[in-house]
Amino acid sequence: AQKVTQAQTEISVVEKEDVTLDCVYETRDTTYYLFWYKQPPSGELVFLIRRNSFDEQNEISGRYSWNFQKSTSSFNFTITASQVVDSAVYFCALSEGQAGTALIFGKGTTLSVSS
Amino acid sequence: DSGVTQTPKHLITATGQRVTLRCSPRSGDLSVYWYQQSLDQGLQFLIQYYNGEERAKGNILERFSAQQFPDLHSELNLSSLELGDSALYFCASSVDSLGRGEQYFGPGTRLTVT
């Protein structure tokens, strides 16, 4: 069965620090899709990135970067030079991309960035 | 703004009552998903519709039902409400029907059952 584990429940950093949010997934399928979403205090869920299981290239988008390692079943998210606006709950999610499946979310990591 | 709209934003009702939550997907998206977010259960998938047909069911209670209309908007009906049904209910839409593409979430409906 598929599962997503975000072991870090809460992380607190000071502005300009780098922070990495961990995500470990379990799936029996060879084809699957991984996602990160951000939920700021206002409550909406904002899509950040999608990665399929055949693409292990790391991705960088501004201060955000993602490290996908199939060997360790991890899809970690790093924020460089964190800012107060990065304070939010971050969710990692998995989909097996088959009929009858949807997003399986981790429990989320609450990131607090102080000035 | 994700392009997905949900109404109402907040809903307060009593136990035993029935409510309807409404969702309009992004233009061009045929798939609609419903999720429930609560403190104890986290984000849980309830049900998916694609172009008017039910495609997948998650942990949806029998007291809950949904449908997707020809104009692609969807409604989630919650009946015989219990205190434990208090949660944030999200609708998401996607172009893809198989969960391969990103899902865009609406702002959610916060349901409080008293």
Write the pLDDT tens digit of every residue in A81-104.
999 999 999 999 999 877 667 899
Omega prior to B70 cis, within 30 of 0: no
Tokens of A74: 């991890």
Which residue of chain B comes nearest to A98, CA vs CA? Answer: B98
Select from B44, B55, B108 the Cβ nearest to the Cβ of A44.
B108
Select from B33, B42, B105 the Cβ nearest to the Cβ of A102.
B33
CB B111 within 8 A of CB B86: yes
CB A41 within 8 A of CB A88: yes
- Provide the 3-class DSSP secondary structure of residue B54: strand
CB atoms within 10 A of CB B82: 12
What average pLDDT does the segment B58-77 reach? 96
B30 band by pLDDT with thresholds 50, 70 and 90 = very high
Position A105 pLDDT exceeds 80? yes
What average pLDDT is seen over chain A?
94
What average pLDDT is seen over chain B?
95
Position B96 pLDDT exceeds 90? no
Write the pLDDT tens digit of every residue in A55-87.
888 888 999 999 999 999 999 999 999 999 999
Residues in chain B, overall count = 114
**Calpha distance A75→B33 (Å, rounded):** 24
CB atoms within 10 A of CB A24: 16
Question: Closest by alpha carbon to A111, among A36, A55, A57?
Answer: A36
pLDDT, position A69: 94
pLDDT, position A100: 61
Position B81 pLDDT exceeds 80? yes
Tokens of B106: 């609406």
Question: Closest by alpha carbon to A97, among A35, A37, A38, A43?
Answer: A35
Chosen from A5, A37, A45 to mutate, greatest number of chain B CBs within 10 A: A45
How do strand A24-26 and strand A3-5 relate by DSSP bridges? antiparallel
Position B99 pLDDT exceeds 80? no
pLDDT, position B97: 81
| Contact: B105, A37; criterion CB under 8 Å | yes
Map tokens 């693409």 to a residue. Answer: A55
Q: Concatenated DSSP letters for chain B?
A: --S-EEE-SEEEE-TT--EEEEEEPPTT--EEEEEEEETTTEEEEEEEEETTEEEEE-S--TTEEEEE-TTS-EEEEE-S--GGG-EEEEEEEES-SSS-S--EE---EEEEE-
What average pLDDT does the segment B63-81 reach? 97
pLDDT, position B38: 95
Q: Is B95 on the interface with A (CB under 8 A)?
A: no
* Dihedral (Cα; B74, B31, B29, A45), 10-degree rounding: 80
Write the pLDDT tens digit of every residue in B4-20.
999 999 999 999 999 99
Question: Closest by alpha carbon to A21, among A102, A103, A80, A83?
Answer: A80
Q: Is B97 on the interface with A (CB under 8 A)?
A: yes
A-B CB pairs within 8 A amount to 68
Select from A46, A102, A105 the Cβ nearest to the Cβ of B42.
A105
